């Protein structure tokens, strides 16, 4: 037997090529020859390939091969439209390469709303995270990124809202929504998102924290935070909460205990004995939401409600509603549950805000500002030669001085030519100049101001300025301090025919509200702290 197995397979391949002329031409054009040696032979051809061929048959086969080579050489070179047919002889023809590979990053259109109900549609990949969506909106709208922009899940039908963590996949969140639900994604600032890493003393009051094991000496809030992030130890959060009874409209005040394994309540007073503790909810398959209208929709005894909602779509009966007596207590419970559920992932989100899965990587985004803003520098043109002001403190003081000088020039320009109405024009201009500022909110109520501040985080120094509802001629500075919202009346004072604004009964006077806000951003004065972050309603 002079014919080898490989020669037999080549003959079998040529036999298959004779049966399929299209396959023979494709393979020959792709490889520059007329045979179809790389075609995978059918299994039943192997037995015939082992038989020796007569000399006459060999000659005829050679002639046919030469003739076919000449024919194919005349055909112009074309790209191979069927590369899967030119496979290895030891590979099955019906291999996985014949079928198109599924695209793992299918795109989907999502709609994101702002606080003024304007919206923007985005086409995003299926693995985009909440942080990546925020980064897209920041870049598209040229906002300054101070790591406080947040994506919220808003459920209006049941009056709930929650912060979507930066690492969560947005498409997965949307997949849990029901078809008939009018849920929305909101984009706004949340200064308190990671504030517990900076100031843990405001989030974990001593009377609500205990430890499963005995500790030597006092435990600082920073050590409590480290215990939450550790997998071996954990603090216990305890206290009374109002719980809504399942299937009923009534609420009952019960003693609760939060541990790493879940949330428990005591059936006997404040007892922590295992026989008196009953399981209430766990964190793995549920998300923690804040109630926006607990009194109206669920009959809650206070406005500081929160609840556990299953990840999958469910009705109001699946909610486990709770209610605290004050905002500090609710903040402590919600923060502790977030830490126990996500652990070190939250800390990584805080330390590395630009580690996303999708195309918005740290290489394609600016660290803090847009490109145009990063190219701006402070310049001093007061001398014979201009210079760049490199000291940030000096640059800030120069900016304040320039602003004050600009206002003085404006007042002098309005008061020229001896006009009898110059003072009235100047005062009216000073009154109206603040309306274009993002921190000013025209004609909103006290409750609306508190809602805006709570939405953007109860962090020290979050503020806004609004018209007074009780006295139309005055303004009110509403600000957050110590997990509470405080209101300070800005009183107009007249001196020598000029109007001024003051917070301290005339000891410190300002010609307009912009001067007042800039002063208290740099100085504490009579306020409990400096003004740091202003509440603004942005438009997309």
DSSP 283-311: STTEEEEEESSHHHHH--SSSEEEEEEES
Which tokens belong to 203? 């989030």
Query: What is the C-alpha separation between 206 and 195, in angstroms, rounded?
Result: 18
Q: Average pLDDT in the 499-521 region? A: 89
For the domain made up of 433-534, give the CATH fold: SHC Adaptor Protein (3.30.505)
Closest CA to 155 of 181, 129, 187: 181
**Could you tell me which CATH number the domain at 194-213+220-351 has?**
2.30.29.30
Considering the domain 107-189 in this protein, what is its CATH number?
3.10.20.90
What is the tens place of the pLDDT at every residue in 53-75?
455 545 555 566 655 554 544 44
CB 283 within 8 A of CB 343: no
Q: What does the radius of gyration of the chain's CA atoms come to, in whole angstroms?
A: 36
| Structural contact between residues 374 and 142, judged by C-beta atoms closer than 8 angstroms | no
pTM over 0.85: no
CB of 509 closer than 8 Å to CB of 500: yes
Residue ranges of the domains in the chain?
107-189, 194-213+220-351, 433-534
**Spatial distance between the Cα atoms of 153 and 137, rounded to a whole number of angstroms:** 16
State pLDDT tens for residues 130-142: 999 999 999 998 8
Q: Distance (Å, rounded) from C-alpha 322 to C-alpha 330? A: 9
Mean pLDDT of the chain: 76
pLDDT digits (tens, 9 = 90+) for 147-167: 899 999 999 999 999 999 999
Rounded-to-integer distance, Cα 284 and Cα 501, Å: 53
Distances (CA, A) of 10 to 40, 115, 299, 476, 487: 10, 72, 83, 92, 91
Total Cβ atoms within 10 A of residue 23 = 19
- Is 234's pLDDT higher than 80? no
């Amino acid at each position: 037997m002079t014919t080898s197995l490989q020669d037999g397979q080549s003959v079998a391949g040529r036999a298959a090529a004779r049966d399929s002329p299209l396959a023979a031409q494709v393979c020959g054009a792709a490889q520059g020859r007329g045979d179809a040696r790389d075609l995978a032979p059918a299994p039943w051809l192997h037995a015939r390939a082992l038989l020796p061929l007569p000399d006459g048959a060999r000659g005829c086969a050679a002639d046919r091969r030469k003739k076919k080579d000449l024919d194919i050489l005349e055909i112009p070179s074309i790209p191979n439209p069927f590369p899967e047919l030119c496979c290895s002889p030891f590979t099955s023809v019906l291999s996985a390469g014949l079928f198109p590979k599924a695209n793992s990053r299918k795109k989907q259109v999502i709609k994101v709303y702002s606080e003024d109900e304007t919206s923007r549609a985005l086409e995003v990949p299926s693995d985009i995270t909440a942080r990546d969506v925020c980064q897209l909106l920041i870049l598209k709208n040229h906002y300054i990124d101070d790591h406080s922009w947040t994506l919220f899940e808003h459920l209006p039908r049941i009056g709930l809202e929650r912060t979507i963590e930066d690492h969560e996949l947005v498409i997965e969140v949307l997949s849990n929504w029901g078809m008939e639900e009018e849920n929305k994604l909101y984009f706004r600032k949340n200064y308190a998102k990671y504030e517990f890493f900076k100031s843990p003393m405001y989030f974990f009051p001593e009377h609500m924290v205990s430890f499963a094991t005995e500790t030597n000496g006092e435990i600082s809030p920073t050590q409590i935070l480290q215990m939450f992030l550790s997998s071996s130890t954990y603090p216990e959060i305890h206290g009374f909460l109002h719980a809504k009874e399942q299937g009923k409209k009534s609420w009952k005040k019960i003693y609760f205990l939060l541990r790493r394994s879940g949330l428990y309540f005591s059936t006997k007073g404040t007892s922590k004995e295992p026989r008196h503790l009953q399981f209430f909810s766990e964190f793995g398959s549920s998300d923690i939401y804040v109630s926006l209208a607990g009194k109206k929709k669920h009959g809650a005894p206070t406005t500081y409600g929160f609840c556990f909602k299953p990840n999958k779509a469910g009705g109001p009966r699946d909610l486990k509603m709770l209610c605290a007596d004050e905002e500090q207590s609710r903040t402590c419970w919600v923060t502790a549950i977030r830490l126990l559920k996500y652990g070190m992932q939250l800390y990584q989100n805080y330390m590395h805000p630009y580690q996303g899965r999708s195309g918005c990587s740290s290489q394609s985004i600016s660290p803090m500002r847009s490109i145009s803003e990063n190219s701006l520098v402070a310049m001093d043109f007061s001398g014979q030669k201009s210079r760049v002001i490199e000291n940030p403190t000096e640059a800030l003081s120069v900016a304040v001085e320039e602003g004050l000088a600009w206002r003085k020039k404006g007042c002098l320009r309005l008061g020229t030519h001896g006009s009898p109405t110059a003072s009235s024009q100047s005062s009216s201009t000073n009154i109206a100049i603040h309306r274009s500022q993002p921190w000013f909110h025209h004609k909103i109520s006290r409750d609306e101001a508190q809602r805006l501040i709570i939405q953007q985080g109860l962090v020290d120094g979050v503020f806004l300025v609004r018209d007074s509802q009780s006295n139309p001629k005055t303004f009110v500075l509403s600000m957050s301090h110590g997990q509470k919202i405080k209101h300070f009346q800005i009183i107009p004072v007249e001196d020598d025919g000029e109007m001024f604004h003051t917070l301290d009964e005339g000891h410190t006077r300002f010609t307009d509200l912009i001067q007042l806000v800039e002063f208290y951003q740099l100085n504490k004065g009579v306020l409990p702290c400096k003004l740091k972050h202003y509440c603004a309603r942005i438009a997309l």
